[in-house]
Structure 1
Amino acid sequence: MRRDLAQLLETGQDQTARIRVEHVIQEEKTMSAYDLIVLYCELIVARLPIIESQKRCPIDLKEAISSIIYASPRCADIPELLEVRKLFSAKYGKDFTGAAIEVRPDSGVNSLIIEKLSARAPDTDTKIKVLTEVAQEHNIKWEPTAFEENIEVHQMDLLVT
């Protein structure tokens, strides 16, 4: 995907690159979230005997368990997370599960997981940063100033209409 972005920048297709960079950023955020999910799953597996022996969620596992529960509906391509959520819901109750899914105060969900799985579009600075990195990685001479000016003109056009 980054190579495709580089080709767009090289051929002067900044508008298309501006749109596609959002997808690249979202994919990178998702992959980063998956890395955290894997670590949390490994921690949970390693501590299963503790989980089985206690009625309440162990304090040192609350972040991992809550974050897995939070991620379960947001990672549809990992259906096993929904099964794990059901198991934790049966063990700790629907209130515990609901708090994690809704990110209530003291739910324990890792803020990085929340940010990485957010569907919010990246801001202009993030887009420019990634496009600049891609240009540097592929030795492409690309100036973000034209890109920034184009965005400002486009935003002004939207305000005028």
Structure 2
Amino acid sequence: MKLCFPVTSDQGINSTLYGHFASSPLFLIYDSVTRQTSAIANCDEKNPYAGCNPFLALRGRHLDGIIVSGIGDDALRAMNLCGYKVFEAGTELVSENIPLFEENQLCEAVVLNVRGEGKCSDEDGSSSGCDHDHDHDHDHSDECDNDCDSCTQDCVGAPPS
């Protein structure tokens, strides 16, 4: 079984989930068979300086689940269309979410279809109840320059199962 977690930095299973799936600096992939983790940059490996691109970063990966602490409706729809199931995290630590997933205790994320839901502010700038920090100041140029080479062979290929 392979699980994907949006994270700020690669600290293996001790990593903390990042609050916004689409703008996460990295994705941590956990393989339950080998109990190993690997991190891939959230970018298009062919154009890493273009910024975050979870759709191309995860394309062709065979994942049993994506576990998030926050995802917007559009990103959720896109991941579902790509064949991925997305689950709501039960805690902020990767290590604590793995057994929760294995025991079927995580809820599958659903599209809310509510304007402003899944976003942190409305168009007028008013808050939608978001309670986390948006100042993540990550520079994908270094991460992608160093990390995208490792995901090149898996970024293109067969669609997810």
So what's the TM-score if we normalise by structure 1?
A: 0.23
Q: Greater Rg, structure 1 or structure 2? A: 1
Compare the two structures and name the one with the higher helix fraction: 1
Q: Which has the higher contact order (CA 8 A, sep 6+)?
A: 1
